Structure 1
């Protein structure tokens, strides 16, 4: 069993676009970015919408009591990235009406931020992430290919995504972030800017099936998230974070145990200083 006290974490919470561990995915890039400084915990669940996320959160996020008892790995940051499935056109079982989608996102944020929440985690920075655009023709082609792969059983899949609807859910995420004072990574417009337009044919190169990002799409997300983190919380720069385990060349051959104790103590001292600075900012 891994120790929950050795190192803090960054939690990626979302749907299948978060879940991906493929080469170039957000989880892979973030793990490399925070290598040996923070664990990157992937809590992405394919097919989930925000209704499902409310239930899943209760299992994947430690309560305040668990954390204060030392039974949970502290999280320095959480990304909350939903909307791609909520935005299924009305009639699809994953569809969540826009007003409920906003309310669900707000509930997730307040579960982390509110002192009245049993999951309150004051040291955790929260980032909302908007869903990317969709390319409907590619999405439907991928649906049909999978349907044929499984023997064309049942009714043929119908086009379940609409660009205008997806954009509404992305913009609702951005607007909610402004209302709550939570930083938002606007992936929708980030992809559109990288593509040079919102035209379906221009967006297609960032999505391997019209819905899920490919490595090029994730590169846009990762670079945007890095910029957001360094702008909002410069103390989260990996270059500023000490490694809880010493660099191999810094280990004292005569007394290696002392080197390990010193590295861990320095990491904990840094965490304590950052925590105090954050509390001071909150009081201002």
Structure 2
């Protein structure tokens, strides 16, 4: 039926969960995608704060089964895990070894492909210790931007291997702040607290409007390069434009 919309599913951790929180970030990934796909696809949020690729591996079959129905299919899924996986081994709940992380993400992509769902990977962004740890006194310092980069790089390599476009948030955000290889690494605890990453995070980990805009641009570019048939301009509008509704019969026919 004309009112059964196919879907884009945003699957990830807290950065995906908060991707609709316009009270914190006036520009967010979720509303931005909903806007460009209005009357074309439903954009479904499946973000779970604190989750890792290990949790996602357990969930992917049920998410696909729930969202894929006889009348509504998932056309695209963004998969954004790695930020929590890349915590140090002292984080027994969240740490996922790099090799296991890659295997989990491969598994998720394979499950999506088997269900005829296009996939866009999103790799972990940098981490600004000077914003994060002051608000969490007593917590073990088990995150670094170096670890985050390793997981982002590994996901980019996996994406190239299996043909899944990847949005490398670590690289994109560091490029945005003007960092170049060989420069002091912004965000490290032992370096200056005054660094340009502060302008891109709410708390050193979660995104504000600047970072969500970079993520959005990255996702749209991935769609353009890998799945151009899913670009907004190439997806038919659901139901006719109002000017063509010259009689009730026109709408009644379109609703069938």
> Above 0.5 in TM-score?
yes
Contact 2:124 2:169 in 1 (8 A): yes
Match of 2:55 in 1: 52
Deviation at 1:256, TM superposition (A): 4.1
SS in 2 for 1:61: helix
Distance 1:214 1:83, change over 3 A: same
Residue in structure 1 matched with residue 186 of structure 2 by the alignment: 199
Q: Considering only CA atoms, is the larger Rg found in Structure 1 or Structure 2?
A: 1
Deviation at 1:56, TM superposition (A): 2.0
Tell which deviates more after alignment, 242-251 or 222-231.
Answer: 242-251
- Equivalent position of 2:78 in the other structure: 79
Q: What are structure 2's unaligned runs of at least 5 residues?
A: 180-184, 188-194
Name the structure with the higher helix share. 1
Q: Distance between the aligned counterparts of 2:224 and 2:135, measured in 1?
A: 37
Partners of 1:236 and 1:254 in 2: CA distance: 31
Greater RCO structure (CA 8 Å; 6+ sep):
2
Q: Name segments (4+ residues, structure 1) moved above 3 Å.
A: 256-259
Q: CA RMSD in A?
A: 2.0
- C-alpha contact (below 8 Å) 1:246/1:259 kept by paired residues: no
**Counterpart of 1:179?**
161
Residues 239, 170 of structure 1: alpha-carbon distance in 2 compared, 3 angstrom cutoff: same
* 1:19 alignment counterpart: 17
- Higher mean Cα deviation, 86-95 or 156-165? 156-165
Q: Which runs of 5+ in 1 are unaligned?
A: 114-119, 145-155, 265-284
Of the candidates 61, 65, 80, which is equivalent to residue 64 of structure 2? 61
Alignment correspondent of 1:111: 111
Structure 1 Cα separation of the partners of residues 229 and 84 of structure 2:
34
Distance 1:36 1:4, change over 3 A: closer
Which residue number corresponds to residue 39 of structure 1?
42
- Match of 2:8? 10
Q: TM-score, normalised by structure 2?
A: 0.86
Contact 1:15 1:46 in 2 (8 A): yes
Given the superposition, is the C-alpha separation of residues 134 and 8 from structure 1 closer, same or farther in structure 2, using an over 3 Å criterion? same
